[in-house]
Structure 1
Amino acid sequence: MNLKGLTGKVSRTAFLPRLVADPIPFSTQKFAQVLHYFSLQPESAASKILKQTMEDCEAPAMEGEARYCATSLESFVDLGVSMLGQNIQLLSTELERETQSQEFSIGEGMKMVGKSEIVCHKMSYAYAVFLCHSIDKTDLYKVPLVGETGTRAAALAVCHKDTSAWSPKQILKVEPGTVPVCHFLARDTLVWVSN
């Protein structure tokens, strides 16, 4: 498999502390204020990216899903603790070294690492914003991978066992609810799991 999210560039935007992030508007209803804050023109490419991220964060959860956008480091940690308790750990895909895009094969030793997890996707924004969600009947796996150049990785993958509430647009070439859907997570996706 060629996993673009494994070898691609990782966003370097950093979390802001809550005291800095909370006063910054983060809402499509306050989009004019957002543009003013970041000194952006309404039709610029950057403004369209910011608006899309806010729209994604404001989208309603589907049945069986809890979702939240973390806009500060504290809100990110608070989310994990409020949903899973204090005995948690944060996981991400691990890549032995930076590498060019290449084919990867699945190695030996795949293991399940969670049944109650919060998957947090890093969004494109002026600072770190994570769209976090927990979907019922989803398992998390750590999968060893070996690249064609010998590069090793421990990739995270999720398997959604119940896709009946999904839109047909979310699933490729299968009807919602007919089969489980498994996929790898990008390297800048973070996952909270219970210890």
Structure 2
Amino acid sequence: MKLHFMKDNQKNQFLPKNVSDSIPFSSKDLPVIYNKFSVKPDSMVAELMKQTLSLCEHKESTPSQKYKIELVKKLGATKSVVCHSQNYAYVVFYCHISVGIRSYAVSLEGEDGTKVKSVAVCHTDTSKWDPKHLAFQLLKITPGGTVPVCHFLPEDHVLWVPYN
């Protein structure tokens, strides 16, 4: 299986709490935010920031190269919190509860000897997913089927699992 582990070249850093608290973080304050970070309102960066704020303000209706595998270790229970890095002027994560998943720590070694440690997540309940989701097309399966949908988390995502 060919896997591509892409490096995120975004150099944003975490801000101290007192600094982040002083910066508006709301769609209604976009003009002020754009001005503070010298972002042109009609630019692609502005659109990405707008999408990030929209996602953060959205209320969820439900909690929702060739490598050889060297080691797989199951992590935690079937419930976890996953945080996805978003495009913004500083580090912003969109976090949500995921239920009906299995997560694994995976060690891989590439053909060239490169070693990678990653986290794999398998979604065991896809019944509420959009039937047009790319995973269903690639795997030739349907929502709610018996086949889990598994993927690696990108390096800038965070998975919180219960510690036993």
TM range (shorter): 0.7 to 0.9
Instruction: Answer whether contact 1:10 1:187 (CA < 8 A) is retained.
Output: no
Give per-residue Cα distances to partners, 1:104-136, cap 9 Å, x unaligned: 323232121122322111111111111112211
Does residue 172 in structure 1 map to residue 124 in structure 2? no
Q: Which moved more, 1:167-176 or 1:45-54?
A: 167-176
Match of 1:124 in 2: 87
Counterpart residue number, 1:111:
73
Corresponding residue number in structure 1 for 2:154 = 186
Q: Cα RMSD (Å) of the superposition?
A: 1.9
Query: How many equivalent pairs are there?
Result: 157
Matched with 2:115 is: 152
CA contact (8 A) 2:70 2:109 kept: no
Q: 2-side partners of 1:192 and 1:33: how far apart?
A: 33
Q: For the Cα contact (< 8 Å) 1:10–1:188, is it kept in 2? A: no
Tell me the distance in 1 between the aligned counterparts of 2:51 and 2:93: 13
Letter in 1 for 2:136: L
Shift of 1:23: 2.4
Deviation at 1:184, TM superposition (A): 0.6
- In structure 2, the partner of 1:55 is 54
How many percent identity over aligned positions?
A: 39
Long gaps (5+) in structure 1: 66-102
TM-score between both structures, scaled by the size of structure 1: 0.72
Which residue number corresponds to residue 100 of structure 2?
137
Q: Which structure would you say has the larger RCO, counting Cα contacts within 8 Å and 6 or more residues apart?
A: 1
TM-score by length of 2: 0.84
User: Per the alignment, do residues 60 and 167 of structure 1 end up closer, same or farther by CA in structure 2, a change over 3 Å counting?
Assistant: farther
- Distance in 1 (CA, whole Å) between partners of 2:106 and 2:28 is 41
Contact preservation (8 Å) 1:63, 1:165: no
Partner of 1:39 in structure 2?
A: 38
Deviation at residue 10 of structure 1 after TM alignment: 4.5
Aligned letter for 1:138? I
1:161 to 124, 132, 136: 124
Distance between the aligned counterparts of 1:62 and 1:184, measured in 2?
Answer: 25
CA shift for structure 1 position 155: 1.3
CA distance in 1, matches of 2:80, 2:13: 23
Residues 133 and 3 of structure 1, relative CA distance in 2, 3 Å threshold: farther
Aligned-partner Cα distance in 1 for 2:154–2:85: 9
Provide the rounded CA distance (Å) in 1 between the counterparts of 2:58 and 2:111. Answer: 39
The amino acid of 1:37's aligned partner reads K
Structure 1 residue 185 displacement after superposition: 0.5
Cα deviation, residue 3, structure 1: 3.1
Letter in 1 for 2:158: L
